[in-house]
Structure 1
Amino acid sequence: MMAETPLMSQYKEIKSQYTDSILFFRLGDFYEMFFDDAVTASKELGLTLTSRNREKGYDVPLAGIPYHSVASYIAKLVNKGYKVAICDQVEDPKSAKGIVKREVTRVITPGTIIDTDFLDEKSNNYLMGIKITEECGALAYLDITTGEFKTTEIVGEDIFFKLLGEINKIAPKEIVLDERSYDIYIDEFKKQNSLNEIKFTKTVERKKPEEYLKEYFKVISLESYGLKNRKGAISVATMVLEYVSDLQKGKELPVTEVVYVNSQNVMELNITTQRNLDIIDNQREKNSAGTLLWVMDQCMTSMGSRLLKKFLKNPLLDIEKIRERQRDTAFFIESVLVREEVRESLKDIYDIERIIGKLILETENGRDLIALKTSIKNSLEIFKTLKGNPIFNIEVKSLIEIYNLIEKAIVDEPPFSIREGGVIRSGYNSDLDELHGISRDGKDYILEIENRERERTGIKGLKIKYNKVFGYFIEVTKANSSLVPEDYIRKQTLANAERYIVPDLKEYEEKVLNAKERIESLEYYLFKELTSEIKKYREILQDLAYKISYLDVITDFAYIAVKNSYIQPEINDGEDIEIIAGRHPIVEKLIPAGEFVKNNIVFDDKKEIIILTGPNMSGKSTYMKQVALIIIMAHIGSYVPANYAKIGLVDKIFTRVGASDDLLSGQSTFMLEMSEVANIVNSATKRSFIILDEIGRGTSTFDGISIATAITEYIHDKIGAKTIFATHYHELTQLEDKLEKAENFRIEVKEDEKDIIFLREIVKGGADKSYGIEVARLAGLPKTILDRSKSILKRLEERKEIVEKKLGGEQLLLFGITSEKKEVVDKKEELKGKELTKEQKIVMRVLDEIEPEKLTPLEALLKLNELKKILNGS
């Protein structure tokens, strides 16, 4: 085998440091991949796989990509979970002695993509770090394209479950775990269906966290960031920042601060609640269609859409902030013309957040600066429209300065690349103008010199020529040699002519031969000089970006409030909730206008639990979810779909809606249901709002009734949270008599001889039928099955009626015999003195403790089931 080339030696040395990445190796106008990287890239990107050095006795797989189109290929690989290392030429090939020096200049992962053309403009691209210790779960998340950097700590019970809720809220593309957390929890993370598309990375911590952050942000204390004594948050923030800085090879990041998010200031929405309420994502379609975001996002800018998502995922618990948003929204509802004028201006504002990120990461181009200039112009128009309203208090003087810098320097329609000239405006730089003049007027200038020299020397046949060896020169025939001036410098003698140069021709030659290259180099220098100047205004631009985002969201709130007939809710620090003529914000948009049935709800110190009965498909879930969604909308400062709403602060919303087996974790429907309920009862407070839908259906009827009853009693007696419990167990309606703050409601049903109509109206009282067969008919079951079902139901109801008449409604089960109270007592007397089995003795003991006259029918049923289980030995 022949020795490998210096180039391959260089490649292998660099690749050995990035074994976990696909290495893009710059060779001239291409990025090349070799060996296994080439095989992988050809497969994933559809590239032609060739080979290198075959003629030298060894075969190296090769695949290449033109450098100018590399971004799209990187995005494809990264979206498939690969890590890509970019190896560039870091010296000029023309001046290189030997092989050109190359280095990896950036490593790109799903959480650190900086080319925004390949990102969702309405979503942040977060990298998240997680550390889980015995004391707390700490997380930090960073969007490298906007500079947003936040951290928080999670303490108390069910830390892992709460972390899942935060992950779902933030929706990172990549999660970095320290070694301990990775080794212990990675399998648990990977069991979660919702995390399938997230890349998990293990990293090693090297720096002292607190010192690293203080040095990075150039502060003497982290107290101003809210991080005093928060070791977990400091540690995980350091881990994330260090990881990203390493990938960016120490380049400056658009991160100016780290913000500690205090979970006590926002409503808790765990992962189950977020899914069940369809707040951001439609779990069935895996997009935003049919979600609260889908209804509310009429924002005009991508920055506004991203901020609205954050609002929806983090409802406020600060009444003053909520009321401030309400006041701002009210202003734009009342000022219709101002609102529409502002929204029209917002249309032409670009993504300032990400443009700032590009400036800091040095990936900006001329079009980005024009977009920034246009955005500043429209921002100033908005400022003028609002006439100094404090809602949009911006740094006008500084923004005008930035606008003028760009206006003077950059052409109106610059090319995409900043390396090939054509970006800088004429008149901005005299040297550049001269170079453009030379490049543009080169031939005329040569003719001008030629004519001048003919006149000066009197040599009519004097010519200026060019070749690659000597460049430009003056050629004079030997017959005219005597007329050549003394300042001519001889360069070459030919048989019939002499060749000369003169100083200004040589000077021009240097200019014209290198004009294009020098134009490109000088334009690039001037462009970077300009962007360095603009970067000095970074904080002002970041402030503008947030204020534009907020203004966009608030005018959006006003727009949808008017469009959808929403009202301003009264928000207070009490615990009562009253909603009159409430509507489901999503469902009402999916059905014909005017068909949605409005409903009321009241929770106060006399009513904390609503037991809601009625058939499936009648509107129970819609009713419960609309209450939760109205509460969320109120807590983000939005108006709500109702005629009137008074809402006390709600600290957490929990939902237990529907169930399905979790195959990955091996949990059955019932186990999953009970796990979710356990989390609710362990985490809820008196200020929480709970939705429970059909608790206990995953087990036997009597077990289900027992569990549902006990859960309801526990919430009523121990927690006091506002709760809607939808159930098919009509027996639970008896809890109204037992629990002081429980009340029955049902879905009204209109019934005649031929048909049943679900009116979707919530009325007081409990339902006494499930209408299951009618629901089956609506679902499309064959008529044969429906007829047979009705026949069986009729027979069962007749049998039940006979038994109830015979027993007078008082019944107990003893040895499988149903009888009246008196007969039970007689039976007990009869059994005394007889030899009993172990099970029979237990039953006798239970019966002795029973006071039949004090039992409700529901309690009697549950006691009967208990006795039956004893007798069956279960």
Structure 2
Amino acid sequence: MAKGSSDTPLMQQHRAIKQKYPDAILLFRVGDFYETFGQDAVVASQVLGITLTKRNNGSASENELAGFPHHALDTYLHKLVKAGYRVAICDQLEDPKTVKGIVKRGVTELVTPGVATNDKLLEHNRNNFLAGLHFKDDNQIGLAFLDISTGEFFIAEGDKEYADKLLQSLQPAEVVFQRQYQKRFKETFGHRFYTYALDEWIFDESFARENMLRHFGTHSLKGFGVEEMSHGIIAAGAIFHYLKETEHPNLQHITHVQRINRDEHMWMDRFTIRNLELVGNGNSDQRCLLDVLDNTVSPMGARLLKRWLLMPLSDIGKINQRLDAVEWLIAHTDTRQQVQASVKQCGDVERLVSKVPLKKINPREVLHLAKGLQQIEVLKQSLSQQNNDYLQRLADALNPCPLLSDNIRRTLVDNPPVAAGKGNLIATGVHAELDELRSIATDGKNYLARLQQSEAEQTGISSLKVGFNNVFGYYLEVTNAHKSKVPDSWIRKQTLVNAERYITPELKTYEEKITGAEEKILAIEQGLFDELLRELQDYMAPLQTNGQVLGILDCLCCFAGNALQYQYRKPVLHNGSALMIKDARHPVIERTLAAGEQYVANDIDLDPEGQQIIILTGPNMSGKSALLRQTALVTLMAHMGSFVPATEAHIPLTDKIFTRVGASDNLSGGESTFMVEMNETASIINNLSSRSLVLLDEIGRGTSTYDGISIAWSIAEYLHHCPQAPKTLFATHYHELNELEEKLPRIKNYHITNREVGNKIIFLRKLAPGGSTHSFGIHVAKLAGMPPKLIDRANEILSWLETKHAHDNEEGQSMQQKVKQLQAPKTDAQMQLSIFDAHTEVFTDIRSMLEAVDINRLTPVEALLKLNEIKNKLK
């Protein structure tokens, strides 16, 4: 914006505030509008689709201008933040009616993707985390995750792989870290996160500890179990500093911090999370595991279920605790339905509570909290009487807060307005003066009529009238004929031709009450509502605990409902090493089958002692990848505490699931398909343990055939020989790998069955022992709609290569040498069967013989004789 001596005071004020927030869009409140100026206006007009105008402020230059009504803030703020902009909201800090000159203004909130609290900026079924990262080195990274909209706060520490895993799982909306590490962050974690760099001095341990101790009001962090996590504390301290800088001082709803222990959760890297299609990737047409499993009834449950899915348990006791509770809820349908009904009626307790210190909760939401507390009372009584230990402990943790609930329902009307400023939110009988003012405001005419009648009767002035003017307010008017009857206590204020006007002490008192009664009513109601919010703040911790427990109950009931609806069974978790699943199904694919189509279930047995590695071969599209994924998903669901899609499942406690499935490029990062494949496979090889489950699909397909076979073969050998002996499913098109069964004792061959009917292939999708010798790739190409001429040619080449394979191998002939022998196909006018020049004459003779045959008159014996003749010519 150009600076000129003729700038108005308003523009000078705008410039001074804008200088404090140069990287944010400044929404500048002017009267009933939020205005943007200069480059901010250009951006706002483009993003919001509002009109861009220019206003000459008297200087040599013109200023761009774009604005919108203040009541539309929520709508436009949502669009700006979703577009990736930081937005500073500058409000009027004084009432313009009481100020002469320029109104004092200031930024009341800086909204960024990670500190959004507005409902329109949030998705109800997912957390909106702000992440803090502290880089020490690649092996020491501190992490903190805060959802300001729910008060959930987590701290963790680990190497760059663990940091990547947490970022991928919790998907923060914004990440803050040291400014000098911007390049390293992008190199390590990619470009998929919205980031903001902070100065180095903020990442100081003593400064961070001081920030946290001041916030929690404690002498140490031992009570939270994070005292020794110095790098995590630094990351958390940076978050607190960032919140202060973005004008978020009211953080009383952040009542505790939890540590994330790496050992408490099953490990899945970001490749596995992507390959198993656990959560959506933005493609609305493609269903993921979360879509199938999430039948929760509350936002708390939906958010928690996603976290359970991405961070499964590794403690067998905690897993069985969930499984037993799910089993109990399946058996007790009435209780489960009652729990779900109560949880649903409670609403989003976590986010409602978090609005209290921010003073963004409205009267209707406060009443909803109170009604939720009534449901919590019902839940507590119901569950505490049940004979499941886990459910009883959850019931004990619930706090109905009866005093708070009663006070809210006694203070607020049954159907309060959404906005407190509109009034009519406080119930009758709460405040005597409020009731009187309401009576005056709503019953003013009746009061004046009663006053007029009373005074007329007392004085005998039958023509007495009550009136009002702006000079001296309410008055009593007496005609000259009755002037002698006026009492001495009346005060004359005005003389007319035929009458006199008087005021009385009672009328003056009434006038004082009725003048500004509406404003007084609103002020009293706002004061009573603020008092209610202050009381609510005293109950922050128990209310948040209620929200967490409701989320757990919702997830457990969801698992029970899924088990009944989808015919899932309870898995058996054990500390052994053998994996046995009977009639395993893919939970997502079976939900997307056409009506009447049945999913083909399969048994899986893996045991490091006997059948450690399964080499899985079979046709394209036969279901190899589905079999791999369903084995991982059944294992994963069991560790979540969910029942699984199988008739029986004995699952060993698993610490890590690794997958390498499909082909994908990372061209923007300079990596080819094969490089991505090798990176993912190297990550698996270098992080194995004896309790790992490894799923490999089409390893080596990104390079030449012999390279690929060599790599796949050596990987299988390595997994077999390594001391960890991880359970492995290895799907491949390289049928040469079937030979490993002869050489290595713990490798077994299996294939997906198919049946050839005529020239068609029917995929039976059933697992059977033994290797497959054919991939039917050309058949898949035909199904995909390749031109018939192309398919015919591919079959010719395949037939020749397979025929020549054995003889050429004896001669040591390479694939390149074979391909060189292939003759290019001739044009339509030429003979299509001619592949090798040496046989052109023979094929020409055969063609002539066939063209001369009348098939309709050919007897079976003649046909056999003709066939024998053709065979002799080929010899």
The normalised TM-score by structure 1 is 0.87
Q: What is the match of residue 28 of structure 1?
A: 31
TM-superposed CA distance for 1:496, in Å, is: 5.9
Runs of at least 5 residues in structure 2 that lack an aligned partner in the other structure: 387-391, 819-875
- Residue correspondence of structure 1 range 696-711 to structure 2 within 5 A: 696-711=700-715
Q: Which amino acid aligns with 1:337?
A: D
Would you say 1:606 and 2:601 are equivalent positions?
no
Could you tell which deviates more after superposition, 124-133 or 60-69? 60-69
User: Is contact 2:278–2:289 with CA below 8 Å preserved after alignment?
Assistant: yes
Cα distance in 2 between the residues matched to 1:565 and 1:260: 36
Cα distance in 1 between the residues matched to 2:319 and 2:816: 61
Q: What is the match of residue 268 of structure 2?
A: 269
SS in 1 for 2:528: helix
TM-superposed CA distance for 1:816, in Å, is: 11
SS in 1 for 2:114: coil
Cα distance in 1 between the residues matched to 2:816 and 2:410: 96
Q: What is the match of residue 823 of structure 1?
A: none
Would you say 1:422 and 2:402 are equivalent positions?
no
Would you say 1:774 and 2:779 are equivalent positions?
yes
1:43–1:773 CA distance, 2 compared to 1 (3 A):
closer
Cα distance in 2 between the residues matched to 1:411 and 1:117: 27
1:816–1:427 CA distance, 2 compared to 1 (3 A):
closer
CA RMSD for the aligned pairs? 2.5
Cα distance in 2 between the residues matched to 1:483 and 1:620: 109
Could you tell which deviates more after superposition, 102-111 or 40-49? 40-49
Q: Which amino acid aligns with 2:235?
A: V
TM-superposed CA distance for 1:739, in Å, is: 2.3
- Residue correspondence of structure 1 range 516-531 to structure 2 within 5 A: 516-531=518-533
Q: What is the match of residue 81 of structure 2?
A: 78
Q: What's the CA shift string for 1:396-418, capped at 9, x where partnerless?
A: 77432232112111112211110
Q: Which amino acid aligns with 2:487?
A: P
- Select the residue among 297, 307, 312 that pairs with 2:309: 312
Q: What's the CA shift string for 1:799-829, capped at 9, x where partnerless?
A: 224446xx4xxx75799999xxxxxxxxxxx
- Select the residue among 178, 196, 203 that pairs with 2:198: 203
- Residue correspondence of structure 1 range 127-146 to structure 2 within 5 A: 127-134=130-137, 135-146=139-150
Q: Which amino acid aligns with 1:168?
A: Q
Would you say 1:116 and 2:119 are equivalent positions?
yes
- Select the residue among 686, 689, 696 that pairs with 1:685: 689
Runs of at least 5 residues in structure 1 that lack an aligned partner in the other structure: 819-874
Q: What is the match of residue 42 of structure 2?
A: 39
Q: What's the CA shift string for 1:310-369, capped at 9, x where partnerless?
A: 100100001111000011001011112222233233332311111101112110111102
Could you tell which deviates more after superposition, 77-86 or 712-721? 712-721
SS in 2 for 1:448: helix
User: Is contact 2:363–2:420 with CA below 8 Å preserved after alignment?
Assistant: yes
Cα distance in 1 between the residues matched to 2:124 and 2:28: 30
Q: Which amino acid aligns with 2:446?
A: D
- Select the residue among 735, 749, 758 that pairs with 1:744: 749
Q: What's the CA shift string for 1:607-637, capped at 9, x where partnerless?
A: 2211111121011000000000001000000
- Residue correspondence of structure 1 range 7-18 to structure 2 within 5 A: 7-18=10-21
Cα distance in 2 between the residues matched to 1:500 and 1:61: 59
1:573–1:513 CA distance, 2 compared to 1 (3 A):
same
Q: What's the CA shift string for 1:47-83, capped at 9, x where partnerless?
A: 2334556689975433333222311111111111111
Cα distance in 2 between the residues matched to 1:790 and 1:46: 57
SS in 1 for 2:451: helix
Q: Which amino acid aligns with 2:351?
A: R
- Select the residue among 337, 359, 384 that pairs with 2:356: 359
1:80–1:258 CA distance, 2 compared to 1 (3 A):
same
- Select the residue among 575, 581, 589 that pairs with 1:587: 589
TM-superposed CA distance for 1:532, in Å, is: 1.4
Q: What is the match of residue 350 of structure 1?
A: 347
Would you say 1:373 and 2:370 are equivalent positions?
yes
TM-superposed CA distance for 1:468, in Å, is: 2.8
User: Is contact 1:217–1:257 with CA below 8 Å preserved after alignment?
Assistant: yes
Q: Which amino acid aligns with 1:508?
A: Y
User: Is contact 2:131–2:145 with CA below 8 Å preserved after alignment?
Assistant: yes
- Residue correspondence of structure 1 range 604-753 to structure 2 within 5 A: 604=607, 605-718=609-722, 719-753=724-758
Would you say 1:534 and 2:502 are equivalent positions?
no
SS in 2 for 1:347: helix
Cα distance in 1 between the residues matched to 2:182 and 2:225: 27
Could you tell which deviates more after superposition, 481-490 or 12-21? 481-490
TM-superposed CA distance for 1:426, in Å, is: 1.6
User: Is contact 1:465–1:473 with CA below 8 Å preserved after alignment?
Assistant: yes
Q: Which amino acid aligns with 1:202?
A: A
Would you say 1:502 and 2:504 are equivalent positions?
yes
Q: Which amino acid aligns with 1:414?
A: P
TM-superposed CA distance for 1:763, in Å, is: 1.2
SS in 2 for 1:268: coil
SS in 1 for 2:767: strand
Cα distance in 1 between the residues matched to 2:141 and 2:59: 57
Q: Which amino acid aligns with 1:323?
A: N
Cα distance in 2 between the residues matched to 1:380 and 1:228: 36
- Residue correspondence of structure 1 range 417-566 to structure 2 within 5 A: 417-476=419-478, 482-492=484-494, 498-566=500-568
User: Is contact 2:289–2:588 with CA below 8 Å preserved after alignment?
Assistant: yes
Cα distance in 1 between the residues matched to 2:480 and 2:18: 63
Could you tell which deviates more after superposition, 752-761 or 645-654? 752-761
Q: What is the match of residue 832 of structure 1?
A: none
1:289–1:448 CA distance, 2 compared to 1 (3 A):
farther
Cα distance in 1 between the residues matched to 2:425 and 2:497: 49
TM-superposed CA distance for 1:288, in Å, is: 8.6
Cα distance in 2 between the residues matched to 1:470 and 1:817: 114
Would you say 1:409 and 2:402 are equivalent positions?
no
SS in 1 for 2:487: coil
Q: What's the CA shift string for 1:11-36, capped at 9, x where partnerless?
A: 22222211211222223333222333
SS in 2 for 1:317: coil
User: Is contact 1:746–1:764 with CA below 8 Å preserved after alignment?
Assistant: yes
Cα distance in 1 between the residues matched to 2:157 and 2:471: 71
- Select the residue among 599, 603, 619 that pairs with 1:596: 599
- Residue correspondence of structure 1 range 234-313 to structure 2 within 5 A: 234-281=233-280, 283=281, 285-287=282-284, 289-313=286-310
Q: What is the match of residue 99 of structure 2?
A: 96
Could you tell which deviates more after superposition, 599-608 or 54-63? 54-63
Cα distance in 2 between the residues matched to 1:667 and 1:816: 27
User: Is contact 2:212–2:237 with CA below 8 Å preserved after alignment?
Assistant: yes
User: Is contact 1:245–1:251 with CA below 8 Å preserved after alignment?
Assistant: no
Q: Which amino acid aligns with 1:184?
A: R
User: Is contact 1:391–1:551 with CA below 8 Å preserved after alignment?
Assistant: no
1:478–1:183 CA distance, 2 compared to 1 (3 A):
farther
Q: What is the match of residue 821 of structure 1?
A: none
Cα distance in 1 between the residues matched to 2:241 and 2:815: 71
1:55–1:753 CA distance, 2 compared to 1 (3 A):
closer
User: Is contact 2:150–2:350 with CA below 8 Å preserved after alignment?
Assistant: yes
Q: What is the match of residue 165 of structure 1?
A: 165
Would you say 1:227 and 2:226 are equivalent positions?
yes
User: Is contact 1:2–1:57 with CA below 8 Å preserved after alignment?
Assistant: no
Cα distance in 2 between the residues matched to 1:41 and 1:443: 50
TM-superposed CA distance for 1:380, in Å, is: 2.7
Could you tell which deviates more after superposition, 391-400 or 672-681? 391-400
User: Is contact 1:355–1:368 with CA below 8 Å preserved after alignment?
Assistant: yes
Cα distance in 2 between the residues matched to 1:3 and 1:258: 53
Q: What's the CA shift string for 1:521-564, capped at 9, x where partnerless?
A: 11111111112112212221111111111111111111110111
The normalised TM-score by structure 2 is 0.87
SS in 2 for 1:699: coil
TM-superposed CA distance for 1:199, in Å, is: 2.1
Cα distance in 2 between the residues matched to 1:478 and 1:15: 68
- The total of aligned residue pairs comes to 802
Q: What is the match of residue 843 of structure 2?
A: none
